[in-house]
A and B are shown apart, each in its own frame.
Chain A
Amino acid sequence: MSTEAVVSAIKDSAQARTPLRIAGRSTWLDAGRPVRADKTLSLRDDSGVVGYVPGDLTLTVRAGTPLSEIERVTHEHGQWLPLDPYGSADGTIGATLATASAGPLASSFGLPRDLLLGLEFVNGRGDVVRGGGKVVKNVAGFDLSRLLTGAWGTLGVITEVTLRLYAVPSVDRTFAVRLDGGEREMASLIRAIITSPLSPYAVLLLNASAAHAARLGERPVCLIRFGGNDAVVRAQVNALSQIARIQELETDVWMRIRRLDGDAHTTIRVVSLPQRFLAASARILGENVPGIHTCIDPRRGVLRIIVGAADDEDGDGLNAVIGGSQDLQIEGADASEVIFERLPADVWREVSPSVVSDELSQRIKRAFDPHHILNPGILGD
């Protein structure tokens, strides 16, 4: 597979008006999204490093390169791409960007769109287009890179990307704080941790079900990851231990967290103002429905509700969760965004509105994929 092969596949499909499902290695969340396509265009074989000068802290790779491969290549030079989306590390960088998938590190290092410097894609007419560049700062031309990030392959097939890298910190340590006690104690502990002058890489709150699945016990837990030089990590660990009883974990716990979705049939992301989560976290974590994991990134203002990863949930459980997530909209309609990451295919059709139904999005779609052959239906379009 090469850019030329993608061009020819798209041109063929455009001519025959045959819709294509765009896939990386197909390890990603299937998401239950109803793509109306019989043919799959897989980027699986379009993998590898195109350019890497470690001193520049930038990396250019083919879109089909698995995240695990990027990790391997960059670690050899003491560097990393601080992107830890939920799912398997065998997923591709192209799919990560196309779906704008992010994990706990996003609250410190930014979303995929913030780590992307430039990309190459093939639009729905088979034109090869480049946006951005290969340097860390660039405002030349209109921003096609951001446009393709999170577009779920509907505007073009990403074939190559250039990313910003960071140095692996000399120290990288993760701690657990057990959230024992009642809701009130839990709330004050969470508040104390989040409002302290710490600067962690990641903070994640798990309910009992998620904690159990991640082999972290049977009670809600707060995970905190510190990185940096020895002095800054030591100072923060000391400060945290003044606030709460802490227990150090191996950093591979984060890999288990990324896999929490497992075989879940439903994942809902609720985005709201960080302060709102601070107030609601203890209540959300306290409501333990078996088989439903809840994970809160309080600094990013994101709650993920994962249903059916542990036990099969019936329809009532799902409805309860959807209703529960809407509870966060307590103070007005614009107080939260509910994003469906994954739903059972039949439910998807019922609940998912088109997220690209506005006039500008429609016009963009028509401009970049005039024959409507790229992942039709995946955005509810």
Chain B
Amino acid sequence: MTQPTPASTLAHGSPAKSAVAERLAEIVGARHVLSRPSELLVYNSDGLPGYRRQPRLAVFPGTRDETIAVVRLLAGEGLPFVPRGAGTGLSGGALADDIVVIGLHRLKKIIALDVENRRATVEPGVVNLRLNKHVAPYGLLYAPDPSSEAACTIGGNVAENAGGPHCLKYGVTLNHVLAMTVLLPSGDVVELGSRIGERDGYDLRGAFIGSEGCFGLALDITVKLTPRPQTVRTLLADFMSVDAAAHATSAIIASGIVPAALEFMDGPTIRVVEDSIYAAGYPRDAEAILLIELDGLEAGVSADLEAVRRICLDGGARNVKVARDDAERLKLWQGRKKAFGAMGRLAPHLIVQDAVIPRTRLPEILETIHRISEKYGVVVCNVFHAGDGNLHPNIAYSADDPAESERVHKAMTEIMRACIDAGGSITGEHGVGLDKMGYMESIFSESSLNAMCELRGVFDPERRSNPGKVVPIHACKEWNAVSGDRLRMDASLSEPRPLEAEPAHPSAQ
């Protein structure tokens, strides 16, 4: 293996960029390495356009072996990198600030499908929906269904521990991943978890899932598949007040019925969706709708359907409509799943939060959000996984208007504060990334953050994989109290190490 290049050579400018780019091109082919700023623009944000970081290089390995070779090359050079799937994340997570992006979307083989034992092994770049289409003919499904399912990858889902509407009943990515082959930032390859299902020892699988690219990257992932339910019924309940819909949600959860999904959309969201090409036939004059899905054995679903309908009507629903067939069901879902996209109609930029609150606090928190939006004169669109208490307040705005931006950010901070005060979490499924790192100290103590730093240090002692995300560096005790060498490393991570001589610093060398 290549000896690490002394940091000083890189920091003060060797022809390293071209050298590294050329060597990466030797591994993956020249057309799979991007280094021109104009080509790299596409990779400067994820699904949250409010954060932009320009990568220095992007490399797209096409095979497992190429991926290993790329990471080993970067390890040899001591260079930091950011793994990236489809770039649909909503946390500013897969951003490479002047460092290397490793795009994994070319690793898209479905390696194995075991119908009898209901499991599949896939490469990280396999798109979530593609896996589902692949297994559907066998009467199976892969349960986690983020709204970005048509584009997001299983590797990205693992990194973020992605959720989705149906996680209410079926659980999140963590509950469906059995094992992974992981490429550590050092270039070492390890097997985590068990393809069989259970094993002894530390749950390294569980530790890796949701590590947001900070522990390395998955080369293959073995997931559990779920039998398609015998019956699926979808209801749309509409309400003339947000409060009534919130109370109905709490009542359904308290009843003990576990719907497959229980989604909430408020008036502003309904109208944005209905104005868009995703119009689903939602009642435009409603102040809130609940989209509720029940599934399972026919006999049980019918009884639960009746109970849920009753709870909604008793709770003040104006109307409860049950989709008559699959076409109608899918149309109702289309409006929900494309709601983020539809908000593009309102303003060029969108900010979205992902806080989770205890489900009994829903009515009160929605009222608080309303109050905050009025205080700052912003329009909040609420479209979220109500059954889990997982809020998604969205504000569409123009980032080019500084005064508006400031009001929007103040409103979002206040909303987050209210959710934290209610005993909630800062993120239910989008991840911390850059976006919520500032809130980590509000919910975790110094020693808890330090334990997370230590866990990260186990997988990535040099902290080269997705540096500067999730846990604020200053929260990591050991990382601060270190020798000069380590400090130089920290500095290079917060201000990423240039890969080439900066022309502005002619004194280099």
| Nearest Cβ on chain A to B368's Cβ, whole angstroms | 16
Cross-chain contact A271 with B300 (CB below 8 angstroms):
no
In the complex, per-residue mask of B324-354: 1 if CB is within 8 Å of any chain A CB, else 0 = 0000000000000000000000000000000
Chain B residue nearest to A121 in the complex (CB): B451
Cross-chain contact B198 with A139 (CB below 8 angstroms):
no
In the complex, per-residue mask of B188-207: 1 if CB is within 8 Å of any chain A CB, else 0 = 10100011111111111111
Partner of B160, one of A123, A139, A197, A368: A139
Q: Does A330 belong to the interface (CB within 8 Å)?
A: no
Q: Does B256 belong to the interface (CB within 8 Å)?
A: yes
List residues 113-132 of chain B with CB under 8 A from any CB of chain A.
114, 116-118
Residues of B contacting A356 with CB < 8 Å? 201-202
| Nearest Cβ on chain A to B156's Cβ, whole angstroms | 13
Residues of B contacting A324 with CB < 8 Å? none
Cross-chain contact B200 with A140 (CB below 8 angstroms):
no
| Nearest Cβ on chain A to B503's Cβ, whole angstroms | 39
Q: How far is the CA of A113 from the CA of B459 in the complex (A)?
A: 21
Chain A residue nearest to B458 in the complex (CB): A363
Chain A residue nearest to B419 in the complex (CB): A135
Q: Does A155 belong to the interface (CB within 8 Å)?
A: yes
Cross-chain contact A139 with B201 (CB below 8 angstroms):
no
| Nearest Cβ on chain B to A238's Cβ, whole angstroms | 9
Which of A61-69, A255-263, A334-342 lines the interface with chain B? A334-342
Q: How far is the CA of A271 from the CA of B201 in the complex (A)?
A: 14
Q: Does B457 belong to the interface (CB within 8 Å)?
A: yes
Q: Does B161 belong to the interface (CB within 8 Å)?
A: yes
Cross-chain contact A138 with B427 (CB below 8 angstroms):
yes
In the complex, per-residue mask of B237-266: 1 if CB is within 8 Å of any chain A CB, else 0 = 000000000000010011111100000000
Q: Does B54 belong to the interface (CB within 8 Å)?
A: no
Q: Does A305 belong to the interface (CB within 8 Å)?
A: no
| Nearest Cβ on chain B to A54's Cβ, whole angstroms | 7
Cross-chain contact A127 with B451 (CB below 8 angstroms):
yes
Q: Does A323 belong to the interface (CB within 8 Å)?
A: no
Cross-chain contact B206 with A147 (CB below 8 angstroms):
yes
| Nearest Cβ on chain B to A339's Cβ, whole angstroms | 5
List residues 344-381 of chain A with CB under 8 A from any CB of chain B.
355-356, 358-361, 363-364, 367-368, 379
List residues 179-231 of chain A with CB under 8 A from any CB of chain B.
197, 199, 228-231
Cross-chain contact A361 with B202 (CB below 8 angstroms):
yes
Q: Does A25 belong to the interface (CB within 8 Å)?
A: no
Partner of A143, one of B174, B195, B356, B436: B174
Residue among A127, A133, A140 with max Cβ neighbours from chain B (10 Å): A140
Q: How far is the CA of A358 from the CA of B200 in the complex (A)?
A: 12
In the complex, per-residue mask of B447-470: 1 if CB is within 8 Å of any chain A CB, else 0 = 111111011111100000000001
Q: How far is the CA of A339 from the CA of B199 in the complex (A)?
A: 7
Q: Does A136 belong to the interface (CB within 8 Å)?
A: yes
Chain B residue nearest to A301 in the complex (CB): B197
| Contacts A135-B423, A136-B359 given; does A143 touch B454 at CB 8 Å | no
Cross-chain contact A113 with B206 (CB below 8 angstroms):
yes
Q: How far is the CA of A134 from the CA of B161 in the complex (A)?
A: 17
Q: Does A16 belong to the interface (CB within 8 Å)?
A: no
Residues of A contacting B111 with CB < 8 Å? none
Cross-chain contact A144 with B196 (CB below 8 angstroms):
no
Cross-chain contact A139 with B210 (CB below 8 angstroms):
yes
Chain B residue nearest to A111 in the complex (CB): B198
Residues of B contacting A271 with CB < 8 Å? 194, 196-199
Residues of B contacting A133 with CB < 8 Å? 356, 424-425, 443
Residues of A contacting B444 with CB < 8 Å? 130, 140-141
Cross-chain contact A199 with B199 (CB below 8 angstroms):
no
Q: Does A236 belong to the interface (CB within 8 Å)?
A: yes
Which of B272-280, B382-390, B480-488 lines the interface with chain A? B382-390
Q: Does A283 belong to the interface (CB within 8 Å)?
A: no
Partner of B455, one of A58, A139, A364: A364
Residues of B contacting A145 with CB < 8 Å? 206
Chain B residue nearest to A141 in the complex (CB): B452
| Contacts A197-B297, A232-B300, A301-B196 given; does A142 touch B202 at CB 8 Å | no
Q: Does A272 belong to the interface (CB within 8 Å)?
A: yes
In the complex, per-residue mask of A32-74: 1 if CB is within 8 Å of any chain B CB, else 0 = 0000000000000000000001111110000000000000000
Can you name 7 extra interface pairs (CB under 8 A) apart from A135-B423, A141-B440, A167-B256?
A: A58-B358, A114-B175, A133-B425, A138-B427, A145-B206, A151-B203, A275-B116
B residues neighboring A (CB under 8 Å): 114, 116-118, 160-161, 163, 167, 171-172, 174-175, 188, 190, 194-207, 209-211, 214-215, 230, 250, 253-258, 296-304, 307, 356-360, 385, 388-390, 423-432, 436, 440, 443-445, 447-452, 454-459, 470-471
Identify 22 residue pairs between A and B in the complex whose beta-carbon atoms are under 8 Å apart, listed by A's number: A55-B254, A129-B448, A130-B448, A137-B172, A137-B389, A139-B160, A139-B425, A139-B432, A142-B452, A147-B206, A149-B203, A150-B201, A229-B304, A231-B300, A232-B301, A234-B299, A235-B300, A273-B196, A301-B197, A337-B199, A356-B201, A379-B201
A residues neighboring B (CB under 8 Å): 53-58, 78-79, 100, 110-111, 113-114, 123, 127-131, 133-147, 149-151, 155, 166-169, 197, 199, 228-232, 234-236, 271-275, 300-302, 334-337, 339, 355-356, 358-361, 363-364, 367-368, 379
